[in-house]
């Protein structure tokens, strides 16, 4: 692992010589946490028709208030991101993007200030094409202008989509827009969809070595929706593509499996545990998308579970490795604390997608534990230490149908 990171840095140094520019914004050293409008609100621009599901200033400020007053900010949730459908349908006479005058009457700088006053950060959305995916104005032809505008609004995070463009353009547009962002001098987390469009629209394998130096995070699979089917296929994609993905994943550059769907009343408790546990194991971004007033006490207890967040936000940022164990998927993740340059603390997550209980006995020495330490085993969802083990022991687990069990092993 350490060696492959060294190789990656040598590769990045070569790219600097080659292109003379790299992202290098020092951001997203931990997987970003926050809230984004799309997963739940989508293009909710018809506020007269549906005032309760409306993408407007009131909504964004209310998320900032909820983060600030309900413990989310203390837990690490930071970015509040407005997705597609925020602007007027056309640019103004000077060619600038204009926030929808009815829904965002005081503009985006007002929202940024409100968010910043609460110690939180502000994110926005655009697309590299002439239009956004929902046919609002996109940034093609205006990269410098839009980058300056976002910087003038004090944006901290920009999600950039990749609909409606040719592959040859896709391969340089993300680099060009990133460069324009960098030249504003305002550090903005740069979220790309380059690998997703490359693979699923242009049908060519994503070249992650090319993406990594330019983007802080990148989508590589279809949109998550408030339905367990989408989550299931996303997790299976990460399982099947582990060997392709893990090498490019780490501080400052993350694979992004898309939003957490807790708070949308579309998942059972077991399904919610599966999504948060695997996202924690993957060191994936934790971006929720929901009406903050709809978050149940149970969902909130998962979203604010600090034992889980400690694994999700571990500074090593390692993507867990999947194994098939009997009919379960097992994810194993090494994390802090380390001993010298050796891993000696781990989490294990057992995922059961089947409709029956699945029982397994897991010999720890077969799954990455090579030290002679003794460990306390924390049942992350129960919030208690359940036993002590050494590598010579086995763990027995009985995982309920469509549910996950997560253990963290801390050295004694």
Q: Closest CB to ligand GLA among 224 and 276?
A: 224
Q: How far is the CB of 41 from ligand GLA (least distance, A)?
A: 11
> Do residues 331 and 360 touch, judged by C-beta distance below 8 A?
no
Q: How far is the CB of 180 from ligand GLA (least distance, A)?
A: 20
Q: What whole-number distance in Å separates Cα of residue 194 and Cα of residue 209?
A: 12
Q: How far is the CB of 271 from ligand GLA (least distance, A)?
A: 20
Residues 6 or more apart whose CB falls under 8 angstroms from that of 135 comprise none
Q: How many angstroms separate the Cα of 323 from the Cα of each of 5, 239, 345, 367?
A: 23, 8, 18, 9
Q: Closest CB to ligand GLA among 83 and 156?
A: 83
Q: How far is the CB of 216 from ligand GLA (least distance, A)?
A: 16
The values of phi and psi at residue 358, to 5°, are: -125, 125
**The two three-digit tokens of residue 158, written as one number:** 């920009």
> Do residues 139 and 174 touch, judged by C-beta distance below 8 A?
no
Q: Which residues bind ligand GLA (CB under 6 A)?
A: 38, 83-84, 132-134, 161, 193, 223
Closest CA relative to residue 30, chosen from 359, 338, 335, 389: 335
Q: Closest CB to ligand GLA among 140 and 335?
A: 140
Q: How far is the CB of 124 from ligand GLA (least distance, A)?
A: 11
Segment (H or E) for 238: helix 228-240
Q: How far is the CB of 193 from ligand GLA (least distance, A)?
A: 6
Q: Closest CB to ligand GLA among 160 and 395?
A: 160
> Do residues 233 and 257 touch, judged by C-beta distance below 8 A?
no
Q: Closest CB to ligand GLA among 264 and 408?
A: 264
> Do residues 256 and 32 touch, judged by C-beta distance below 8 A?
no
Question: Is residue 403 classed as helix, strand or coil in its secondary structure?
Answer: strand
Question: What's the number of CA atoms in the CB half-sphere (13 Å) around residue 146?
Answer: 26
- Is the N-terminal amide bond of 337 cis, ω within 30° of 0? yes
What DSSP state is assigned to residue 250?
Answer: B
Segment (H or E) for 363: strand 358-363
Q: How far is the CB of 376 from ligand GLA (least distance, A)?
A: 40
Which residues are marked as active site? 161, 223
Using H for helix, E for strand and C for coil, what is the string for 177-223? HHHHHHHCCCCCEEEECHHHHHHHHCCCCCCHHHHCCCCCEEECCCC
Q: Closest CB to ligand GLA among 132 and 408?
A: 132
Beta strands (DSSP E) in 63-194 are: 79-81, 121-127, 157-161, 189-192
b/e 214-224 (16+ beta carbons within 10 angstroms → b): bbbbbbbbeeb
Q: Closest CB to ligand GLA among 133 and 180?
A: 133
Q: Closest CB to ligand GLA among 134 and 310?
A: 134
Q: How far is the CB of 162 from ligand GLA (least distance, A)?
A: 9
């Amino acid at each position: 692992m350490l060696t492959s990171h060294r190789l990656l840095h040598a590769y990045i140094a070569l790219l600097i010589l080659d292109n003379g520019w790299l992202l290098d914004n020092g951001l997203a050293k931990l997987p970003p946490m926050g809230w984004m409008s799309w997963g739940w609100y989508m293009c909710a621009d018809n506020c007269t028709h549906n005032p309760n599901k409306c993408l407007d200033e009131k909504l964004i400020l209310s998320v900032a208030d909820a983060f600030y007053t309900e413990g989310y900010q203390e837990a690490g949730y930071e970015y509040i991101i407005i997705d597609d459908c925020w602007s007027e349908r056309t640019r103004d006479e000077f060619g600038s993007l204009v926030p929808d005058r009815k829904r965002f009457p005081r503009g985006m700088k007002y929202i940024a200030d409100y968010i910043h006053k609460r110690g939180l950060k502000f994110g926005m959305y655009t697309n590299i094409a002439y239009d956004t995916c929902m046919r609002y104005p996109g940034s093609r032809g205006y990269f410098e202008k839009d980058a300056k505008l976002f910087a003038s609004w004090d944006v901290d995070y920009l999600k950039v989509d990749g609909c409606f463009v040719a592959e040859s353009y896709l391969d340089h547009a993300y680099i060009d827009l990133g460069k324009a962002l960098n030249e504003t001098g305002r550090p903005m987390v740069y979220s790309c969809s380059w690998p997703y469009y490359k693979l699923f629209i242009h049908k060519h394998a994503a070249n992650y070595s090319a993406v990594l130096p330019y983007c802080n995070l990148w989508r590589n699979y279809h949109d998550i929706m408030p339905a367990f089917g989408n989550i299931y296929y996303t997790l299976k994609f990460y399982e099947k593509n582990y060997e392709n993905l893990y090498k490019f994943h780490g501080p400052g550059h993350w694979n992004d499996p898309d939003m957490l769907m807790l708070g949308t009343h579309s998942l059972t408790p077991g399904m919610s545990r599966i999504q948060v546990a695997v996202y924690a194991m993957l060191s994936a971004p934790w971006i929720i998308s929901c009406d903050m007033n709809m978050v149940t006490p149970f969902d909130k207890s998962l979203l604010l579970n600090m034992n889980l967040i400690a694994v999700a936000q571990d500074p090593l940022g390692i993507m867990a490795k999947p194994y098939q164990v009997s009919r379960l998927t097992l994810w194993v993740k090494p994390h802090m604390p380390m001993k010298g340059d050796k891993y000696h603390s781990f989490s294990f997550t057992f995922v059961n997608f089947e409709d029956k209980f699945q029982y397994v006995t897991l010999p720890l020495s077969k799954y990455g534990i090579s030290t002679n330490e003794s460990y306390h085993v924390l049942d992350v969802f129960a919030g208690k230490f359940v036993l002590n083990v050494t590598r010579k022991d086995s763990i027995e687990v009985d995982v309920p149908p469509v549910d996950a069990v997560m253990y963290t092993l801390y050295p004694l």
